[in-house]
Amino acid sequence: MPDTALSPAPEACAGFPIEEALCEIVSNDAVNAEYRLMIARAPEAALRARAGQFFHLLCPATEAGQPFLRRPMSIYRIDPARGEIGFLYKVTGKGTRGLATLRPGEMLNALGPLGRGFTLPADTRHVMILGRGVGLATMAPLARLAAESGAAVTAVLSARSPELVMSRGELEAAGARVIEVVDTDGSSAPEEMEPRLAALHAERAFDYIATCGSNRLFRLARGLARSWGIPGEIALEQHMGCGLGMCYACVIPVALPGGGEEYRRVCWDGPVFTLEEAKGW
């Protein structure tokens, strides 16, 4: 399982496409008991972020001190017209608690855009998005990307309970059809979802699936993609050091086409991997 993945061709000592962007906070409000949405005014380089890419955020100090490492956060909204980017994040520990203290007008240091985002195949006509929890943050820009390239989007949002469903508005604004499934009524169970998704496919065939945020959804997505013979991708997470492909902390094993596996860096070779490369967890 050697780490032999080739790095993208380096542009040594040339331009500096990755920047420590200093972004002024526009708003940073709770969307429910666990999640917050942070919108920030960003310089041009940051606005070039693409769906599935992420930023590495320097989180402000709290009483618990300054979070030492940066924290990776997917791009949730890219709005070049308003010059804004957005993050949807779950308040978890030291770093995200620090993010939650940012007030409008304060500055956020966001390194990026980083990583390899989603690659919508040419001529994609109908995209299926399967997202849950934090995974939804990654999906919103993909819906916009699909819409811009003329593809329809059906987004299935999974959550523990109806009030925890997020991003509906963001996805609908991007032109997606949104379907909610929840644990409370059992509709999020894979056995329940599979026939429902198959019916949607029969109605209007999907030609690309993207997923994030749940192992169950990943397995479901891979099964469907295989049986329908279509490609798909997943955005993965791993604890990170640098976010720049330098430290090799963020590796995950990926399956190799010929069998066997090797480690890839989530920050540099990912965070988006094909459903065939990715392994369940």
Partner 1 sequence: MVTNSAPDLSVRIGSLTLKNPVMPASGTIAEGMTQVIDMGRLGAIVLKTITPDLRQGTLPPRVAEYRDATLFSIGIPSKGPDYLLEHTLPAYAACDAPLVASVSADTAEDFGKLAAYISDPRIAAIEANISCPNLKADGRAFGMDPEATREVLERMVAATRIPVWAKLTPNVGDITVFARVAEEAGCEAVIVGNAILGMAVDAEAMRPRLGNVMGGLTGPAVKPILLRMVHQCAKAVQIPVIGCGGITGGEDAVEYMLAGATAVQVGTANFIRPHTMTEAVDWIADYCTRHGLSAAREITGALRPLHAPATAPTETV
Ligand X SMILES: Cc1cc2nc3c(=O)[nH]c(=O)nc-3n(C[C@H](O)[C@H](O)[C@H](O)COP(=O)(O)OP(=O)(O)OC[C@H]3O[C@@H](n4cnc5c(N)ncnc54)[C@H](O)[C@@H]3O)c2cc1C
Site membership for ligand FES, residue 117 (CB under 6 A): no
* Between 58 and 166, CB nearer to ligand FMN: 58
Contacting residue, 16, 63, 105, 199, with partner 1 by CB under 8 A: 16
Q: Does 69 bind ligand X (CB under 6 A)?
A: yes
Single out the residue of 25, 43, 45, 90 in contact with ligand X (rule: CB under 6 A).
90
Residue at 153: amino acid letter: V
Instruction: Kindly state the smallest distance separating residue 231's Cβ from ligand FMN, in Å.
Output: 33
Give the binding range for ligand FMN (CB under 6 A) out of 68-76, 92-100, 107-115, 241-249. Answer: 241-249
Q: Which of 30, 61, 246, 256 is close enough to bind a second copy by CB under 8 A?
A: 61
Nearer to ligand X, 78 or 230 (CB): 78
From a second copy, ligand X, ligand FMN, none, interface partner of 241 (C-beta below 5 to 8 A by class): ligand FMN
Which residues contact residue 275 at a Cβ distance below 8 angstroms, ignoring those fewer than 6 apart? 209, 211, 218, 221, 222, 225, 231, 232, 233, 234
For ligand FES, give the closer residue by CB, 77 or 116.
116
Is position 241 an interface residue for ligand FMN (rule: CB under 6 A)? yes
From ligand FES, ligand X, ligand FMN, none, which one binds at residue 243 (CB under 5 to 8 Å depending on kind)? Answer: ligand FES
Peptide bond into 190 cis (omega under 30): no
Give the H or E element holding residue 210. Answer: strand 208-212
Rule CB under 6 A: choose which of 84, 207, 237, 269 binds ligand X.
237
* Interface with ligand X: number of residues (CB under 6 A): 25
Look at the block and give the residue holding tokens 């523990």: 160
Q: Contact between 72 and partner 1 (CB under 8 A)?
A: no
Residue 105 makes contact with a second copy by CB under 8 A:
no
- Angle at alpha carbon of residue 148, lines to 111 and 7, rounded to 5°: 40
Do the Cβ atoms of 97 and 64 come closer than 8 Å?
Answer: yes
Of 6-14, 38-46, 81-89, 272-280, the window that binds ligand X (rule: CB under 6 A) is 81-89
Of 58 and 127, CB closest to partner 1: 58
- HEC per residue, 85-145: EEEEEECCCHHHHHHCCCCCCCEEEEEEEECECCCCCCCCCEEEEEEECCHHHHHHHHHHH
The first and second tokens of residue 58, run together, are: 């320097």
Amino acid at 270: G
Q: How far apart are alpha carbons 110 and 195 in whole angstroms?
A: 42
Residues 212-271 interacting with ligand FES (rule: CB under 6 A):
240-243, 245-250, 265, 267-268
| Token pair of 136 as six digits | 């939804």
Question: Who contacts 213 (Cβ-Cβ below 8 Å, separation ≥6)?
Answer: 131, 132, 133, 134, 135, 136, 138
**Buried b or exposed e, range 100-122, using 16+ CB within 10 angstroms:** bebeeeeebebbbbbbbbbebee
Region 241-280 residues binding ligand X, contact defined as CB under 6 A: 266, 271
Residues at the interface with ligand FMN (CB under 6 A):
241, 247, 249
Residues at the interface with ligand X (CB under 6 A):
54, 67, 69, 71-74, 76, 87-90, 92-96, 134, 137, 237-240, 266, 271
